[in-house]
Chain A
Amino acid sequence: MNTASGFIRALESGTRHLFVKRFTLRYPEQKLKFVGDGYQFDPKKGVGIAGLRGRHILFHDKCTGCQLCSIACEGIAEAIAMVKVDEQWKQNKKSIMPQIDYGKCVFCGLCVDACPFYALYMTNDYELSSYTKQHLIYTPSQLAIKPIDNGEVEIKIDSRGASHG
Chain B
Amino acid sequence: MSSLDEKIEEAKKLSMHIVKESEDDKLMTLSVGPQHPGTGHFRFIIKLDGDYIVNVNLDLGYVHRGEEKMCEYRNYFTNIPHLERPVIHDSANITYSYSLAVEDLIGITVPRRGQFLRALTSELDRINYTLYWLAIYGIFLGHSTMFMWPAADRELVLDLLERLTGHRITHAFNIPGGVRNDMPNNFKEKCLSQINYLEKRLKEYEHIFYNNPLFRQRTEGVGILSKEDAIKLGVTGSVLRASGVPYDIRKVEPYDIYNEIDFNVQYMKTCDSFARAYIPFLDVRESCHIIRELLDKMPESGDVREKLLSNIKGPPGESFKRVESGRGALSYHLVSDGTSRPYRVKISTGSFRNIIALPFLLVGSKLGDMPAIYWSLNYWPIEADR
Contacts and interface: CB of A to CB of B under 8 A. Distances in A.
Contacts of B166: 39, 50-53, 109, 122
Interface string B152-168: 11011001001111110
Contacts of A51: 166, 184
B156 A113 contact: no
Interface in B170-214: 170, 172, 180-185, 193-194, 197, 204, 207-209, 211-213
Given A50-B184, A155-B159, A110 B213 contact: no
A49 B166 CA distance: 10
Interface string A3-14: 100110110111
Q: How large is the interface on A (under 10, 10 to 19, 20 to 34, 35 or more residues)?
A: 35 or more
Contact of B305 (A25, A34, A46, A75): A46
Contact of B167 (A3, A14, A107, A114): A107
B207 A50 contact: no
Contacts of B180: 47-48, 109, 113
Interface residues of B, number: 44
B204 A13 contact: yes
Given A47-B181, A75-B74, A109-B180, A155 B155 contact: yes
Contact of A6 (B80, B212, B303): B212
A49 B305 CA distance: 12
Q: Which of B153, B166, B181, B303 has the most CB of A within 10 A?
A: B166
A52 B162 contact: yes
A50 B172 contact: no
Contacts of B264: none
Interface in A115-137: 122
A10 B145 CA distance: 11
Contacts of A46: 305, 307
A23 interface: yes
A76 interface: yes
Interface string B294-316: 00000000011101001000000
Contact of B184 (A1, A25, A36, A107): A36
Contacts, number: 104
A152 B153 CA distance: 20
B92 to A, nearest CB: 14
Contact of A76 (B81, B167, B216): B81
A74 interface: yes
B305 A108 contact: no
Select the residue from A52, A113, A162 with max chain B CB neighbours within 10 A.
Answer: A162
Contact of A10 (B78, B152, B181, B208): B208
A121 B138 CA distance: 42
A109 B208 CA distance: 42
Contacts of B75: 75
Nearest to A54: B166
Contacts of A6: 211-213, 216
Contact of A162 (B156, B182, B305): B156
A106 interface: yes
A51 B204 CA distance: 33
A57 to B, nearest CB: 14
B263 interface: no
A76 B78 contact: yes
B69 to A, nearest CB: 13
Interface of A: 1, 3, 6-7, 9-10, 12-14, 23-25, 32, 34-36, 39, 46-53, 72, 74-77, 106-110, 113-114, 122, 155, 157, 162
6 contacts: A10-B209, A36-B184, A50-B181, A51-B184, A75-B75, A113-B180
The 5 closest A-B pairs by CB, nearest first: A48-B181, A53-B166, A13-B207, A50-B184, A108-B172
Given A9-B207, A36-B184, A48-B180, 13 more contacts: A6-B211, A13-B204, A47-B181, A47-B182, A48-B182, A49-B182, A50-B166, A50-B183, A72-B78, A114-B310, A122-B166, A155-B155, A162-B197
